[in-house]
Amino acid sequence: MRERDNGPVKKILMIDPSETFTRFLGRIVTRMGYETLVAGDAKTGLVLAREKMPDLVISELHFGEYDGLSLCAEIVGCPETAAVPVVFVTTDGSRDGRRRAEDAGCSDYLTKPVTINDIHDMLQRNLPFEKKRLTPRIRAELDVEIASGKRRISAKTETIGCGGMLVAACGEGIHIGQTVQISLCLPSNSDPAKLTGEIIYLLESADSTQEPGIGIKFTDMGPDGGASLAQFVEEQMS
């Protein structure tokens, strides 16, 4: 499986005793396009890390006798998993907790509660993306029309965020760097949002099973388009 506009789909292992938190985090990262694994304790999480080889581990710091520090040290100290970043998202906001986590080899440290933007920024810092993104991008199928001169393309989005979108369509007749006018249908709007964008990449079909795609960066979102799109993305991940 491949997230076509930003490399292979990343696998994230979430380890936390709180089912409420793993549901919250899992909903967000799944909507962003990641594959998720879940463990409720550190020992189970270590087994999954060794068996499934995730691209990133997100863990609570405190579990009891076998805690997140031991988990992190095991992952970082094992040659097979040493390259997997371990990020603590924890209730422990103390300096001592952060220092001990860093000494154990963690890659990042966030204190709960966390926002969608906190999660997005953390993922961008700790995963090896082909293209770094400033704002969250989600999977969503929205009707969109792209126009440049006489060329008009009616299609659906694959992924979208406040910075841009990937459209499932053939890029024949358009080129990278070209300015396009966009009519985007959002569920909350009676009329399409009018945006301006720039073509930043074209995905050609490698075989008959893969659809072509057009990557667009938004350059002007108009007076209402940005707010409406931000509200849509927030609602889809909340």
Q: Which domain holds residue 147?
A: 137-237
Number of domains in the chain: 2
| Run of H or E residues at 89 | strand 86-90
Mark the ranges of the chain whose per-residue pLDDT is less than 70.
Answer: 1-7, 205-210
Q: Both 120 and 146 in a single domain? A: no
At residue 103, the pLDDT reads: 96
Check residue 4 and give its pLDDT.
61
Residue 6 in domain: no
What would the pLDDT profile of 43-57 be if each residue is shown by its tens digit? 999 999 999 999 999
CA–CA separation, 153 vs 170, rounded Å? 9
Regarding whether 86 and 21 lie in a shared domain, the answer is yes
**Which pTM value belongs to this model?**
0.80
Q: Following DSSP, what letter does each residue of 99-123 receive, concatenated?
A: HHHHHHT-SEEEESS--HHHHHHHH
* DSSP classification of residue 173: T
Tell me phi and psi for residue 207, to 5 degrees: -155, 180
Q: Which of 100, 126, 152 is the last residue of a domain?
A: 126
CATH number, domain of 65, equals: 3.40.50.2300
102-156 pLDDT, tens digit per residue, is 999 999 999 999 999 999 999 999 998 877 788 888 999 999 999 998 899 999 9
